[in-house]
Amino acid sequence: QVPLVESGGGSVQAGGSLRLSCAASGWTFNSNCMAWFRQVPGKEREGVAAIYTGGGNTNHADSVKGRFTISQDNAKNTVYLQLSSLKPEDTAMYYCAAGDTQAGSWCYLDDYDYGTWGQGTLVTVSS
């Protein structure tokens, strides 16, 4: 059983939008951190956004602030990443991850803080 299941990736033109979903399977949110990361082949994994499921505090990378928004639906054990005003440089495999809180109700965007990962969903943005 895969603990995190991502969906919603696809191909869009620059300026378009997508919504990624990450559903927890076999476990429930429990005041933990959920985050989205992305990775392009040959480059390091980049933290995109994180959310504290116990209160909704969010943390967005500077590169996506104002364009991407992370949100949660605890009743569905699902987090979302709304991608808007997409750029070709947003093309990547997007991964959902779960981890314990690192500083009270704040969630960082360092991948070593997250121990559970999904299989990824591909986002391709064409110019």
Concatenating the DSSP letter of every residue in 75-93 gives: GGTEEEEEE-S--GGG-EE
**3-class DSSP state for residue 24?**
strand
pLDDT tens-digit profile of 79-109?
A: 999 999 999 999 999 999 999 987 888 999 9
C-beta atoms surrounding 108 within 10 Å: 17
pLDDT at position 66: 97
**3-class DSSP state for residue 36?**
strand
pLDDT at position 34: 97
Q: How far apart are CA 39 and CA 25, in angstroms?
A: 23
**What phi and psi values does residue 16 have, to the nearest 5 degrees?**
-80, -175
pLDDT at position 56: 86
pLDDT at position 2: 77
Intervals of the chain under pLDDT 50:
none
pLDDT at position 120: 96
Beta carbons within 8 Å of 14's beta carbon, 6+ residues apart: 86, 87, 88, 125, 126, 127
